[in-house]
Structure 1
Amino acid sequence: MAVERAVAELGVLIYPGAQMAAVHGLTDLFGVANRIAAEHQTAQLPLLRVSHWQVEDAQAPARCYASHPGADRALVAVLIPPSIGGFTEGQSPAGLIRWLRQQHAQGATLGGVCVGSILLAESGLLDGRSATTHWTSAKSFAERYPAIKLLADTPIVDDGDLITTAGLMAWSELGLRMVDRLLGPSIAASTARFLVIEHSDSASQCGSNFAPILSHGDASILKVQHWLQSTGATDVSLNAMAERAGLEERTFLRRFRAATGLKPTEYCQHLRVGKAREMLEFTNGTIDHIAWTVGYADASAFRATFKKITGLAPSDYRTRFGVTPPRQ
């Protein structure tokens, strides 16, 4: 008897010049992940359904076609593939930018590959946030979008609700990151192994990177989540979060936990540790400096929280997964 599974709708954007190999590659990657997940025969794992979207004119975006026509669920994520031709003004019509902002406001995670990162920058959603892009675009990107903290040497910047990647072929890592979030690290690793593509094993060994639940439908709580992502959850208080949501503190606590599955303090801890994991993997800053950067004045408290969430001390995590030699 077939197990009835929930559906997670993933949108892949098609724009003028989009690399169709990435569009179809992402679709196939999610198909492989679905097949591996189905072998577990459990209703706890959602079915990943892919729909392809494009802009027909400058006024309004429309779906071009979908793997399962007629799907009317809200999108869990929108993935923007790269373009071999590079970025031009014509790739960011007002209708597309408006649609991306609307999907984000409704709780979709947005992921951009290479030129896709530039489209996210054009939307303004990356202002005040960290991002990466292809090395050939780094100089112009930094000049054009000074409000964005460009991490040009980082292959992927996972900032929870916004993910950017640097390479033309990084669509596979973006796809695996979404599989990791929705189906778990073991299925992501199995998908990578089946497709014979590289995938960081930090998630499978230390738990998935922090993936906040954004598609819960509570607009007040989502507003706070977007704010926490943009500030890094540094120097925040329960009162400030409740004020941002426009709710009384007790009501905010109840609704936040119902929407996200975590208490606000736990949520902030996971968000900070997620950012610290990225810094430990891709930068050579000292652990004390990283602790301070992600919002911990007490480095020992940071070390304890990091180990509680990942199972490893920060130094051990860097030794195992870091790609940059530590600062002496």
Structure 2
Amino acid sequence: MYTVVVLALDDVIVFDLATPMETLGRVRLPDGRPGYRIVVAGAEPVVDAGAVRIGVDAGLDELDRADLVVVPGRNDPARPTPPAVVEALRAAVARGTRVASICVGALILAEAGLLDGQRATTHWLATGELARRHPAVHVDADALFTDNGQILTSAGASAGLDMCLHLVERDYGVAVAADAARLAVAPLQRTGGQGQYILRNRPTYQTATLEKALNWIEENAHRPLTLADIAAAAGMSSRTLARHFHAETGQSPIQWLTGVRVRHAQELLEITDHTVDRIAAQVGFPSPSNFRTQFTQTVGVNPGAYRKTFRRSSA
């Protein structure tokens, strides 16, 4: 049986805290024995978790006896981590203990220097902040979870469940993990990454230089556009337009155009009965096959799978 210490800090996200407790705490082996012993530990005996206050089982010295330490996120991910917690996490990793984060808990691991040089993820709303604050971390904004052997990270909310089920499979095999997944009423493995869950709203940029071009693309994305068309609408040469796009968005004009078309397609997949081929034509892709390829590369799942997941009941 593995001992799992779930770290509870002030401002902890209760969902993140409960996920490993419920998922790992209910794992049973074929002979009926529990697979994990769960201990909640913290720097203080009582934790303020917003609407509730939580009493913890143990102090930070419990990390010395852990086989796995799980670090949930906090509602304010910019809140500094207590130095004693940072040192306890570093010591745990130095002993060879596995450490896993849920949601923005990845920023706590990064603050401790435990993700430097490693592939990591976090909630899609915080991936940019993780990359900005910790440039030595290889941020994978699309991954539901990452496993570097000793250190794991997961994206937001239910991605913590995905990671926990992965840990069960790693520790006890697929049969035990499948039982845990059935108990959690969840798939053992989900299709695609968190790209399919990213908010579809149009990105906003405070840029007078590109405002005209971005608005024009938004209104004309359904047409068969070229770089020259966009440049003419923006009143720039193609070379100047490409330079401004790369500097201000990190993309080429055509990459931006593809993103707009995919975003429009997502909305149509959610609210209409139109066929995938018809939607491809409606939003401006040159062919259904090109649409499927670009959509899958951008979102992480194909259009049909996206529709099954996000189709609105009122459609």
TM-score in terms of structure 1 length: 0.51
The correspondence for 1:177, drawn from 147, 162, 166, is 166
2:73 to 69, 79, 82: 82
1:154 aligns with 2:138: no
Matched, 1:31 2:31: no
Give the conservation status (yes or no) of the 8 Å contact 2:63–2:69: no
Q: CA deviation at 1:11?
A: 0.6
> Between Structure 1 and Structure 2, how many residues are aligned?
185
**Match runs of 1:11-30 below 5 Å:** 11-30=5-24
Deviation at residue 127 of structure 1 after TM alignment: 0.6
Q: Tell me: CA distance 1:158–1:97, structure 2 relative to 1, closer, same or farther (3 Å).
A: same
Q: Which amino acid aligns with 2:165?
A: L
Q: 1:47, CA displacement in angstroms?
A: 3.5
> Is 1:53 matched up with 2:38?
no
Please list every run of at least 4 consecutive aligned residues from structure 1 whose deviation after the TM superposition is greater than 6 angstroms.
70-73
CA distance in 2, matches of 1:48, 1:130: 27
Aligned equivalents of 2:4 and 2:175: distance in 1? 20
In 2, distance between residues paired with 1:124 and 1:196?
35
Q: Do the aligned partners of 2:165 and 2:181 also contact (CA within 8 Å) in 1?
A: yes
1:133-212 correspondence to structure 2 within 5 Å: 133-200=122-189
Change (3 A) 1:17 1:198: farther
Alignment of 1:276-291 (within 5 A): none
> Contact 2:41–2:62 at 8 Å: present in 1 too?
no
- Which structure 2 residues correspond to residues 59-70 of structure 1 after superposition, within 5 A? 64-65=56-57
| Letter of the 2:11 counterpart | G
Instruction: Give the conservation status (yes or no) of the 8 Å contact 1:9–1:73.
Output: no
Amino acid in the other structure paired with 1:142: A
CA distance in 2, matches of 1:89, 1:17: 9
Contact map agreement 2:64 2:92 (CA 8 A) in 1: no
Give the unaligned 5+ runs of structure 2.
46-54, 192-299, 303-315
Q: What is the rounded CA distance, in whole Å, between the counterparts of 1:116 and 1:167 in structure 2?
A: 9
Q: Normalised by the size of structure 2, how large is the TM-score?
A: 0.53
Residue deviations 1:107-163 (CA, integer Å, cap 9, x gap): 211111111111111010111111111111122211111111111111111111111
CA change 1:54–1:179 in 2 (3 A) is same
DSSP-derived class of the 1:188 partner: helix
Distance (Å, rounded) in 2 between the aligned partners of 1:46 and 1:106: 25
Alpha-carbon displacement from aligned partner over 1:74-94 (angstroms, at most 9, x marks no partner): 2111011233x231333x111
RMSD of aligned alpha carbons: 3.0
Distance in 2 between residues matched to 1:144 and 1:122, nearest whole Å? 9
Distance 2:169 2:189 in 1: 11
Aligned-pair identity (%): 28
Alignment-mate amino acid for residue 8 of structure 1: Y
* 1:33 aligned counterpart, secondary structure: coil
> SS where residue 168 of structure 2 aligns?
helix
**Residues of 2 paired with 1:14 and 1:165: CA distance?**
17
Would the alpha carbon gap of residues 47 and 187 (structure 1) be closer, same or farther in structure 2, given more than 3 Å must change?
A: closer
Unaligned runs of 5+ in 1: 1-6, 58-62, 203-322
1:131 maps to 2:125: no
Aligned 8 A contact 2:26 2:34 in 1: no
Would the aligned equivalents of 2:121 and 2:146 in 1 still touch at CA under 8 Å?
yes
